[in-house]
């Protein structure tokens, strides 16, 4: 029992996090169009779902907090309050709190409780102030509900509730529902059972055989009552009718009649009730029996449900498993090709080609499954720009283009922090305050653009701003201060920009809360390099900066250049290869400065044979692979370039934890192993 | 389930490194491979011989002799790779152990297994899971997890010394 509750809890947390993310996104949209009714409804609905789910799965604080917010949005929805910027800021802050409220570990701390109550107080204060301020808007709104569903006055309601047999299977605790109802007012519940099977054997313990006749005296409206049933109304029968505009449950006669009714076997009928109300009318004197028509048909529609999604949720482990199998298949395929090539049997060849085609298609579709659109991160970026802009007194418009561009999910994960940092930098150092912008003849509202798109086998992400750009003098001064360059060093603009990526560099005059927390662009660069990406910065003083991130499309298979050094095969990432030359090996023998002249350029080189300590005779001619490295090129000398190779990356494992230059291994068609070189790490190690 | 079966099985695989015999519980040994081409990984510790392809996965291979402070394994007729699973930082990791020869499978009853000697000064004793007595000879049953959680090599001489010490103590006990 406990286990299953935990399962449901985990499921709930997962869904709630999705909901909260959706909420965040909707709020940001609402910020742009505060009068959009649809968005408002969505916010309200999400709050409601959080409230209901939270209560049901034991997240009491979450539930009560969401409840308060829901109330606020309910008022707005009904047109009694307006959306203001202050409200949105408040709600966005609450979004963070809501997230933390889902975290059991954080929940246990005292800090959480105080945060929660502080936030509640803020919401309350806002609510009171705004209700006061916006009151005049109230009067011109008439009450619209004709069936008396409006909240405000005490009335007695009759609720017939049959949850359906399968209700327990969804993990619904019906007692919670009744508790919820009881919180609305005074509840008198008459439980009943239907269709009880004969004998215990026939009784299915997982079925619910119960239904209820509920009498509720409350000042909450019909909507509020219906909302209690929001999670069960798919399969259940719910009828809600108003019996009287007074509290019948306060009259002793009514209650005693109700109790006597409990002993009767038959279900209640309308006429039964009619007489009741007539009776009680006499007793209370003032009650006006009002019979609304039945609320909708017997089975309520799930009107508040989400639109059906045409997607399924699959755990990432399953995807990883699939990817592994596909990788195996690609390797096996290579093997088959080799064997088929050896025997030259026409039939075998045909089958091999067919299998190859299918493997390729399978690989592509499996990879596309593990891709996530960049837009999944947008809400966080928009949020950051909004919050930070306000905090810094800057006005910024954030535009995202090509957000549908898809990336490997591990890549998305490792991109989030660097991108947030880049945006923070743009806001803090790039975009100027409005006054300054006006002075420079710019639009007072700054603009940050996130552009994403495919370029060959890469994904390119650009973050542009139309801010002040990088001040070369300032960077120079700072670099000098930090001892990164010497006084008379002549640097090109390119080189100055590269200084920004040097560890320990930060241009912010003072350490602000925003950026310059010791975490600099060097960390961004390192994080992106960890997923085999590259960063480049272009900047024009006064016009703005553009930071370009180039990433490989998938992480687990790369296009490589196969080379041989001694007896071992190595794979270099093809995306970094610039050019290939051949050279006499003796040119390397007495070369003291480790620079080769290739194609008219002086290029520093690394003699990999020597570097790897390969013994044996050096071939008379070596081949030189020129690779790109941090804005320049470096030549890697190998024995022989074998050709292009598609490498399925396999980790080397923990025992090689000290190994940085070899990022992975790959299995060749004949079953032997080639090592995948991380050229950047290699060059860094050699030069450092 | 696995615990049950591995506890019930009392078979140990013994292997030879130079003149010394070591043993491992059979539940730890996944398979025994013949010597094959090993791809050396540059700039890794001496005892890391390289990697091989084990059914489409990359298996690191350790030169057990080097790890134990001996000269590197010279591939011979008996040279084998024991594929064993070790626990590294709470995670199961497969590793190939290059050994001079696989000896035999021994059945060892509980009374044949003596606890590792508590000779305080020898740090090597923590790599010894048991001392196994087979027909008046003593084998070291290795604690592979301990061996591989340390980057350093072991000193075979000290291990042997520990074993000799054990034999002496046993003799004293029996007389």
pLDDT attached to residue A195 = 67
* Residue A67 structure tokens: 């409840």
Contact at CB, A655 and B60, closer than 8 angstroms: yes
- Strand A185-193's sheet: what is its strand order? A185-193, A210-218, A155-162, A237-244
Q: Is A619 helix (H, G, I), strand (E, B) or coil?
A: coil
Whether the predicted pLDDT of B95 surpasses 60: yes
CB atoms within 10 A of CB B155: 15
Does any CB of chain A come closer than 8 Å to the CB of residue B88?
yes
In a domain, B48, yes or no: yes
Which of chain A's residues have a Cβ under 8 Å away from the Cβ of B95?
655
Whether the predicted pLDDT of A306 surpasses 50: no
* Residue A7 structure tokens: 């399962």
The closest CB to that of A655, out of B42, B53, B95, belongs to B95
Chain B from 33 to 72: CB within 8 A of any A CB: 37, 39-45, 48, 51-53, 56-58, 60, 62
CB-based burial, A86-113: b 16+ in 10 Å, e otherwise: ebbbbbbebbebbbbbbeeeebeeeebe
Q: Provide the shortest C-alpha distance from residue B131 to chain A (in Å).
A: 27
Q: Which CATH code of 1.10.10, 3.30.230, 1.10.20, 3.30.70 fits the domain covering A155-284? A: 3.30.70
Indicate the pLDDT class of residue A640, thresholds 50, 70 and 90: very high
CA gap A425, A183 in Å, rounded: 49
The CATH number that applies at residue B79 is: 2.40.50.180
Indicate the pLDDT class of residue A511, thresholds 50, 70 and 90: very low
Higher pLDDT, B124 or A138: B124
CB-based burial, A47-75: b 16+ in 10 Å, e otherwise: bbbbbbbbbbbbbebbbebbbbbbebbbb
**How large is the average pLDDT for residues B104-121?**
73
Contact at CB, A662 and B42, closer than 8 angstroms: yes
Interface test with B, best of A331, A655, A671, A675 (most B CBs within 10 A): A655
Task: State which H helix or E strand residue A494 sits in.
Answer: helix A493-499
Contact at CB, A652 and B56, closer than 8 angstroms: no
* Residue B151 structure tokens: 């980057």
CATH for the stretch A2-135: 1.20.120.160
In a domain, B118, yes or no: no
CB atoms within 10 A of CB A245: 16
Indicate the pLDDT class of residue A143, thresholds 50, 70 and 90: very low
CA gap A628, A53 in Å, rounded: 53
Query: How do the domains of chain A map onto residue ranges?
Result: 2-135, 155-284, 316-370, 372-552, 557-687
Higher pLDDT, A198 or A301: A198
CA gap B66, A411 in Å, rounded: 39
Whether the predicted pLDDT of A624 surpasses 90: yes
CB atoms within 10 A of CB A440: 12
Write the burial class of residue A463 (CB in 10 Å: 0-12 exposed, 13-18 middle, 19+ buried): buried
Which of chain B's residues have a Cβ under 8 Å away from the Cβ of A652?
41, 51, 58, 60
The closest CB to that of B41, out of A331, A656, A672, belongs to A656
User: How far, in whole angstroms, is CA B156 from its chain's centroid?
Assistant: 12
CB atoms within 10 A of CB B73: 20
Q: Taking each helix axis as running N to C, give the angle between helix A2-32 and helix A37-56, from 0 to 180 degrees, rounded to the nearest 10.
A: 160
Question: What is the percent of chain B with per-residue pLDDT over 90, rounded to a whole number?
Answer: 14
Q: Which CATH code of 2.40.50.140, 3.40.50.2300, 2.30.30.40, 3.40.50.720 fits the domain covering A557-687? A: 2.30.30.40
CA gap A416, A446 in Å, rounded: 23
User: How far, in whole angstroms, is CA A665 from its chain's centroid?
Assistant: 32
**How large is the average pLDDT for residues A400-425?**
84
Contact at CB, A665 and B58, closer than 8 angstroms: yes
CA gap A81, A43 in Å, rounded: 15
Which of chain B's residues have a Cβ under 8 Å away from the Cβ of A673?
39, 51-53, 58
Q: For residue A576, give the DSSP letter.
A: G
Which pLDDT tens digit goes with each residue over A147-164? 444 456 677 888 878 777
In a domain, B160, yes or no: no
> The dihedral of CA A511, A515, A519, A524: what is its sign?
negative
Contact at CB, B39 and A671, closer than 8 angstroms: no
Q: Which among A605, A619, A593 has a CA at the least distance from the CA of A682?
A: A605
Which of chain A's residues have a Cβ under 8 Å away from the Cβ of B45?
658
Place of tokens 């890391």: B48
Which backbone phi and psi does A260 adopt, to 5 degrees?
-65, -30
The closest CB to that of B42, out of A612, A665, A667, belongs to A612
Q: Provide the shortest C-alpha distance from residue A419 to chain B (in Å).
A: 32
* CATH architecture assignment, domain A372-552: 2-Layer Sandwich (3.30)
The closest CB to that of A331, out of B40, B44, B56, belongs to B56
Chains A, B: CB contacts under 8 A, how many?
65
Whether the predicted pLDDT of B151 surpasses 70: no
- Interface confidence, given as ipTM, is 0.83
Higher pLDDT, A302 or A555: A555
Q: Which CATH code of 2.30.29, 1.10.287, 2.30.30, 1.10.10 fits the domain covering A316-370? A: 1.10.287
User: How far, in whole angstroms, is CA B3 from its chain's centroid?
Assistant: 20
Contact between A377 and A407 (Cβ < 8 Å): no
For chain A, the residues whose C-beta falls within 8 A of a C-beta of chain B are 328, 331-332, 568, 611-614, 650-656, 658-659, 661-662, 665, 667, 671-675
Which pLDDT tens digit goes with each residue over A128-137? 777 666 554 4
**How large is the average pLDDT for residues A199-220?**
77
Complete DSSP assignment for A419-451: HHHHHHHIIIIISPPHHHHHHTTS-SSEEEEEE
Contact between B113 and B132 (Cβ < 8 Å): yes
Whether the predicted pLDDT of A458 surpasses 60: yes
Task: State which H helix or E strand residue A615 sits in.
Answer: none
Those residues with Cβ within 8 angstroms of residue A56's Cβ, 6 or more apart along the chain or in another chain? A12, A171, A172, A173, A176, A231
CA distances in angstroms from A276 to A260, A280, A289, B136, listed in the order given: 12, 6, 10, 98
Contact between A364 and A394 (Cβ < 8 Å): no
User: How far, in whole angstroms, is CA A677 from its chain's centroid?
Assistant: 33
Which of chain B's residues have a Cβ under 8 Å away from the Cβ of A612?
42-43
Whether the predicted pLDDT of A146 surpasses 70: no
* Residue A513 structure tokens: 């809360």
pLDDT attached to residue A282 = 40
Q: Give me the number of domains chain B comprises.
A: 1
Q: Is A474 helix (H, G, I), strand (E, B) or coil?
A: helix
Which of chain B's residues have a Cβ under 8 Å away from the Cβ of A674?
39
pLDDT attached to residue A297 = 37
Which pLDDT tens digit goes with each residue over A335-345? 888 888 888 89
Q: For residue A79, give the DSSP letter.
A: T
In a domain, B39, yes or no: yes
In a domain, B72, yes or no: yes
């Amino acid at each position: 029992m406990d286990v299953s509750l935990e399962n449901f809890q985990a499921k709930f947390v997962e869904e709630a996090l999705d909901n909260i993310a959706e909420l965040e996104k909707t709020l940001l949209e609402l910020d742009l169009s505060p009068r959009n009714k649809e968005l408002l409804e969505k916010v309200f609905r999400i709050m409601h779902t959080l409230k209901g789910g939270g209560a049901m799965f034991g997240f009491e604080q979450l539930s009560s907090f969401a409840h308060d917010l829901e109330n606020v949005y309910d008022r707005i929805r009904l047109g009694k309050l307006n959306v203001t910027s202050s409200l949105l800021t408040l709600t966005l802050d609450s979004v963070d709190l809501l997230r933390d409220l889902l975290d059991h570990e954080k929940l246990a701390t005292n800090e959480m409780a105080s945060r929660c109550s502080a936030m509640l107080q803020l919401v309350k204060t806002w609510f009171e102030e705004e209700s006061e301020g916006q009151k005049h808007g109230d009067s011109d709104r008439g009450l619209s509900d004709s069936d008396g569903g409006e909240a405000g006055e005490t009335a007695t309601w009759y609720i017939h509730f049959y949850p359906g047999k399968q209700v327990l299977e969804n993990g619904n605790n019906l007692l919670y529902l009744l508790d919820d109802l009881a919180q609305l007012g005074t509840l008198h519940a008459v439980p009943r059972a239907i269709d009880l099977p004969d004998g215990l054997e026939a009784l299915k313990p997982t079925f619910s055989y119960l239904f209820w006749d509920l009498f509720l005296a409350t000042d909450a409206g019909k909507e509020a009552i219906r909302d209690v049933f929001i999670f069960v109304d798919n399969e259940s029968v719910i009828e809600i009718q108003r019996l009287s505009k007074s509290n019948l449950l306060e009259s002793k006669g009514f209650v005693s009649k109700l109790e006597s009714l409990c002993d009767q076997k038959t279900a209640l009928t309308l006429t039964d009730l009619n007489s009741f109300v007539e009776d009680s009318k006499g007793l209370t004197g003032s009650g006006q029996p009002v019979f609304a028509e039945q609320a909708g048909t017997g089975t309520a529609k799930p009107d508040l449900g989400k639109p059906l999604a045409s997607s399924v949720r699959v755990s990432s482990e399953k995807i990883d498993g699939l990817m592994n199998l596909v990788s195996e298949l690609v390797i096996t395929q290579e093997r088959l090709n080799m064997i088929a090539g050896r025997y030259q049997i026409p039939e075998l060849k045909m089958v091999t080609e067919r299998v190859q085609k299918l493997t390729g298609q399978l690989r592509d579709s499996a990879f596309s499954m593990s891709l996530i659109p960049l837009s999944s991160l947008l809400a966080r970026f928009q949020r950051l720009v909004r919050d930070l802009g306000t905090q810094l007194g800057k006005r910024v418009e954030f535009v995202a283009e090509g957000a549908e561009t898809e990336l490997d999910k591990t890549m998305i994960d490792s991109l989030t922090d660097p991108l947030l940092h880049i945006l923070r930098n743009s806001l803090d150092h790039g975009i100027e305050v409005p006054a300054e912008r006006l002075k420079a003849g710019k639009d007072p509202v700054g603009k940050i653009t996130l552009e994403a798109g495919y370029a060959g086998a890469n994904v390119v992400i650009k973050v542009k701003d139309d801010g002040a750009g990088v001040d070369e003098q300032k960077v120079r001064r700072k670099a000098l201060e930090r001892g990164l360059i010497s006084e008379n060093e002549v640097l090109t603009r390119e080189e100055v920009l590269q200084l920004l990526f040097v560890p320990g560099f930060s241009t912010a005059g003072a350490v602000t809360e925003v950026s310059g927390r010791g975490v600099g662009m060097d960390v961004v660069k390192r994080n992106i390099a960890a997923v085999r990406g590259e960063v480049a910065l272009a900047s024009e003083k006064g016009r703005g900066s553009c930071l370009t991130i180039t990433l490989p499309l998938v992480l687990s298979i790369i296009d490589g250049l196969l080379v041989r050094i001694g007896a071992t095969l190595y794979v270099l990432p093809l995306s970094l290869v610039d050019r290939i030359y051949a050279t006499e090996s003796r040119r390397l023998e007495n070369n003291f400065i480790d620079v080769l002249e290739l194609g008219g350029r002086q290029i520093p080189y690394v003699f990999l044979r020597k570097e790897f300590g390969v013994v044996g005779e050096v071939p008379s001619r070596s081949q030189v692979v020129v690779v790109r490295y941090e804005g320049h090129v470096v030549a890697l000398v190998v024995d022989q370039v074998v050709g292009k190779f598609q490498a399925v990356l396999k980790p080397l494992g923990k025992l090689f934890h000290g190994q940085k230059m070899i990022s992975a291994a790959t299995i060749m068609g004949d079953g032997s192993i080639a090592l995948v070189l991380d050229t950047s790490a290699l060059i860094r190690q050699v030069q450092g | 389930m696995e615990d049950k079966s591995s506890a019930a099985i009392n078979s140990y695989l013994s292997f030879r490194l130079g003149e010394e015999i070591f043993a491992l519980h059979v539940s730890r040994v996944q398979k025994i491979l013949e010597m094959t081409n090993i791809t050396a990984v540059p700039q890794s510790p001496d005892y890391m011989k390289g990697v091989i392809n084990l059914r489409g996965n990359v298996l690191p291979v350790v030169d057990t002799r080097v790890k134990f402070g001996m000269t590197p394994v010279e591939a011979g007729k008996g040279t084998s790779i024991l594929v064993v699973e070790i626990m590294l930082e709470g995670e199961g990791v497969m590793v190939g152990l290059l050994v001079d020869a696989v000896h035999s499978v021994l059945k060892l009853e509980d009374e044949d297994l003596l606890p590792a000697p508590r000779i305080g000064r020898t740090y090597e004793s923590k790599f010894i899971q048991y001392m196994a007595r087979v027909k008046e000879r003593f084998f070291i049953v290795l604690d592979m997890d301990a061996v591989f959680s340390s980057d350093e090599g072991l000193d075979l001489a000290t291990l042997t010394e520990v074993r000799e010490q054990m034999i002496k103590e046993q003799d004293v006990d029996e007389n």
